Amino acid sequence: MATSWGAAFFVLVASCVCSTVFHRDQQTWFEGVFLSSMCPVNVSASTLYGIMFDAGSTGTRIHVYTFVQKIPGQLPFLEGEIFDSVKPGLSAFVDQPKQGAESVQELLEVAKDSIPRSHWKRTPVVLKATAGLRLLPEEKAQALLFEVKEIFKKSPFLVPDDSVSIMDGSYEGILAWVTVNFLTGQLHSHSQETVGTLDLGGASTQITFLPQFEKTLEQTPRDYLTSFEMFNSTYKLYTHSYLGFGLKAARLATLGALETEGIDGHTFRSACLPRWLEAEWIFGGVKYQYGGNQEAGAVGFEPCYAEVLRVVQGKLHQPDEVQRSSFYAFSYYYDRAVDTDMIDYEKGGVLKVEDFERKAREVCDNLENFTSGSPFLCMDLSYITALLKDGFGFAGSTILQSTGAYVLHCKPVGSHQEGSRVRWLKAQARAPA
């Protein structure tokens, strides 16, 4: 999946303001993550902490947040964050759940070093697993979560009843959308002029936006729409999570390796890889042998694009409205744009969909000469291009603002100081590729 940094930020904010900001007369998708009773009785001028674990398909990340709420009943602001991560993700320990939980224990030490001891007992700790665990058999996923919960119980932190769980894919998209629009100030204006979000993780991908045209609502499958009330406004979002369409799952699909369980001795080959390449890759606890297509002329952008196109063509819903909407793209969209110098790591940038295609052509048509830390770069860029154009239906000229963890290339929210804080959070919280 895609990372759950949206959940990591927003549910912690919601933990102390849901009773005053959100309408509680209906069941909402974030209820039960944290309880309002966890908040200090005296919230005036209070410093609050929260610990969120994002258990993704490629790694486990910890976010230790510091919030300050100066005025009761108003939203606290995010003062700072400590971020760290370990690899591989929990799903790699599918048959060693205790060992997987030990990786979480390692990150808990980061929280203990970051939070004053006096606040430990009232600081909630939560782990939300994403697509990596959703792909596992139910009993194996639950065994991993059970061991993590045992680790939490032994910690000095506050452990809610539902502290460890697998997050539904659609919730990831919703929480990411809320977070981006909250941090850019869109949710405070009540104008419903919002931006859409595109999240590309390792095992799944999400698209979320607020439709402006009745035609979109009429032509959208019912399970792609969700309605909720927040900040005294009603939002009816288009959101969907595509399991198996994350960047690394797409690599397996492109290689034709999804149904093979990494057969010993079999090498999966692709026109997207350097002809000379012979290597192995472990994903989800399974080892795969892979390499380049050694036939003459069988490498480069065109044959590679034909391979990745089979992964997405005709398999995703294409709402027409996306071509007229503004979107922020993050996670692997951001990582691959940074890797190829299309945007700056610190400043981010604005790209068109066709920029990914242009870079994919450049990389794929020069595979023998292109130096990169990842042999999958050609495949990844080609897949991103196909996902955006042939999957979601974006036009090549569609403009995307690329963001790392929170908000990149955004206008300051309120004061200059707040805008600077958002940019600092983006740089510090960016999950490793």
- Active-site residue numbers? 172
Angle in degrees, 0-180, between the axes of helices 377-386 and 332-339, rounded to the nearest 10: 130
Nearest CA among 249, 223, 241 for reference residue 177: 241
**125, β-bridge pairs:** 51
Helix intervals (H) in 31-167: 97-114, 131-134, 138-154
HSE toward the beta carbon, residue 51, CA cutoff 13 A? 33
Task: Of 247, 207, 390, 250, give the one whose Cα is nearest residue 313.
Answer: 390
Q: How far is CA 341 from the centre of its chain?
A: 21
The torsion defined by the Cα of 402, 207, 427 and 113, in degrees rounded to 10, comes to 180
Give which of 221, 200, 213, 150 is closest to 356, Cα–Cα.
Answer: 200
For the record, the structure tokens of 401 come out as 């603002």
Q: How far is the C-alpha of 150 from the C-alpha of 152, rounded, in Å? A: 5
Which tokens belong to 146? 């059970």
Residue type at position 79: E
In degrees, to the nearest 5, what angle opens at C-alpha 380 toward C-alphas 379 and 381? 95
Q: Is 84 helix (H, G, I), strand (E, B) or coil?
A: strand
Contact predicate 198/327, CB 8 Å = yes
Output the furthest CA–CA distance in the chain (Å, rounded).
72
Rounded CA separation 70/85 (Å): 31
Instruction: Kindly tell me the sign of the dihedral angle through the C-alpha atoms of 260, 262, 263, 265.
Output: positive
DSSP 124: B
220: phi then psi, degrees, rounded to nearest 5: -95, 135
Cis omega (within 30 of 0) on the bond before 221?
no
Tokens of 50: 């929260």
